[in-house]
Amino acid sequence: MELTKQEQAMLDGKEGYAVRKSMEILTALGEIFGAKSLIDVGSVQVAGVSYHNLGDAGLEFLNELAVDGRVKVLTTLNPAGMDLENWEQLGISPEFAQKQNLVIDAFQRMGILISCTCTPYLIGNLPLYGEHVAWSESSAVTFANSVLGARTNREGGPSALAAAFVGKTPNYGLHLDENRAADIHIQINADLPKLSDWGALGYVIGRKAENKIPYITGIKTADLDKLKSFCASVVTYGAKPLFYIKGVTPGAEQQIQPEQSCIIEQADLKGAYDAINDQVSDIDFVCVGCPHCSIKEIQEIAELIRDKKVKDGTELWVATSRTAKQLADKRGYTATIEEAGGKFACDTCMAVAPLKGRFKALATTSAKGCFYSRQNLMKTKMGSMKECVEAAVTGKWNN
């Protein structure tokens, strides 16, 4: 890989330890994937924030970098292992909270925005069409590539951090035109009225388009919440973090229809629900907001739960960014949800909080949430926002 004089100086340690370490990571990645050079990035999204996943070794690594590592571009943070303010209310232990705060402190010293959300595009980290960025977190990467038309590979935590300290990333993979062409055509002959239908669709397409870029036809319209749900699901279940929907997402009209094709019918979606849903009727955990809830979703929850009560023995978590919650506070949605017994889980989510063994059965709108909650040993049910709120109020799943 060819380096400029300035990049070589960074690799030689002229800008300190963190930048040298970062250049070592970026040049190693570039060599492995055949990049010819580094390119500037407009922003970075860093995943690997939960102490639950990092452990003491991860915390030590971050502290070493935080001594002289300062980010060169706008850098936002993925969810942490707890709500940074209301962790006690969510049943997080003081020992975990102390370690998680040390992780956050290290990121803060690096100059990273402590946003702790997987929807950075809803809080101001919004890349332009064609802009190169270095994001980690699969749903955010897919949203950036597909809905915004920005360009990013699916970075890991360390390579994203390295890009933040250097302001550059190796130019390979989804940064290059030749790797962004769709390679499977998917025709949708099914209705998708519910938010969870988009999670189910992501499951079906992810499986059919394993490691491919889907070009999707047959969808007339999709709002932001449906697209973010689809982004989370399609990549979790196997596709590359880029898709095109004809008439909906940017760049779709320029795609040449791929030869390989398949049709998705209503029965395929039902099959996805059958695969994602376990045989369980008692629900002790309802968590919505995977990816993090938009203000519109919080409004919907508030309207559905007004004058109702979350059943004793069941918890309702609304996972969202702190920024979205602040809007919800002003509009009265927070008060309505909390009066009903619901809890806000800002800065965190059901996949990265230490939840293993705490709950038996989850209800959610999210196919990705089901995938990770099974790893946390929960039975799972996926359905509409209405069905989830109903489950929180009754403690039962009704079908």
Interaction between residue 355 and ligand F3S (CB under 6 A)? no
Residues within window 34-63 making contact with ligand F3S, judged by CB under 6 A:
none
Distance from C-alpha of 298 to C-alpha of 109, rounded to nearest angstrom: 32
From residue 65 to residue 84, the character string flagging contacts with ligand F3S as x (rule: CB under 6 A) and all else as - is -------------xx-----
CA angle 368, 369, 371 (to 5 degrees): 65
Tell me the closest approach of the beta carbon of residue 96 to ligand F3S, in angstroms.
Answer: 17
From residue 298 to residue 337, the character string flagging contacts with ligand F3S as x (rule: CB under 6 A) and all else as - is ---------------------x------------------
Tell me the closest approach of the beta carbon of residue 298 to ligand F3S, in angstroms.
Answer: 14
Q: Considering the complex, state which of residue 72 and residue 368 has its C-beta at the smaller distance from ligand F3S.
A: 368
Interaction between residue 232 and ligand F3S (CB under 6 A)? yes
Interaction between residue 379 and ligand F3S (CB under 6 A)? no
Q: Scan for tokens 């370490």, then name that residue.
A: 21
Looking at 291, 342, 354, 395, which residue binds ligand F3S (CB under 6 A)? Answer: 291
Beta carbons within 8 Å of 335's beta carbon, 6+ residues apart: 329
Element (H, E) at 159: helix 157-166
φ, ψ of residue 261 to 5 degrees: the values are: -145, 160
Q: Considering the complex, state which of residue 157 and residue 291 has its C-beta at the smaller distance from ligand F3S.
A: 291
Distance from C-alpha of 368 to C-alpha of 376, rounded to nearest angstrom: 13
Choices 121-129, 188-196, 335-343, 367-375 (CB under 6 A): range interacting with ligand F3S: 367-375
Tell me the closest approach of the beta carbon of residue 216 to ligand F3S, in angstroms.
Answer: 20
Q: How many residues bind ligand F3S (CB under 6 A)?
A: 16
For residue 299, what are the CA distances in angstroms to 106, 236, 293, 330, 336? 34, 27, 10, 12, 10
Beta carbons within 8 Å of 187's beta carbon, 6+ residues apart: 216, 217, 218, 261, 262, 263, 264
Q: Considering the complex, state which of residue 215 and residue 243 has its C-beta at the smaller distance from ligand F3S.
A: 243
Q: Scan for tokens 């602040």, then name that residue.
A: 326
Looking at 1, 18, 163, 351, which residue binds ligand F3S (CB under 6 A)? Answer: 351
Tell me the closest approach of the beta carbon of residue 290 to ligand F3S, in angstroms.
Answer: 3
From the list 128, 122, 130, the residue with the least C-alpha distance to 326 is 122
End-to-end CA distance of the chain: 57
Q: Considering the complex, state which of residue 15 and residue 137 has its C-beta at the smaller distance from ligand F3S.
A: 137
Residues within window 138-157 making contact with ligand F3S, judged by CB under 6 A:
139
Q: Is the peptide bond before 214 cis (omega within 30 degrees of 0)?
A: no
CB 199 within 8 Å of CB 233: yes
Interaction between residue 118 and ligand F3S (CB under 6 A)? yes
Interaction between residue 30 and ligand F3S (CB under 6 A)? no
Residues within window 119-138 making contact with ligand F3S, judged by CB under 6 A:
137
Beta carbons within 8 Å of 350's beta carbon, 6+ residues apart: 285, 287, 290, 317, 319, 362, 364, 369, 372, 373, 376
Interaction between residue 290 and ligand F3S (CB under 6 A)? yes
Question: Where along the sequence are the contacts to ligand F3S (CB under 6 A)?
Answer: 78-79, 118, 137, 139, 232, 290-292, 319, 349, 351-352, 368-369, 372
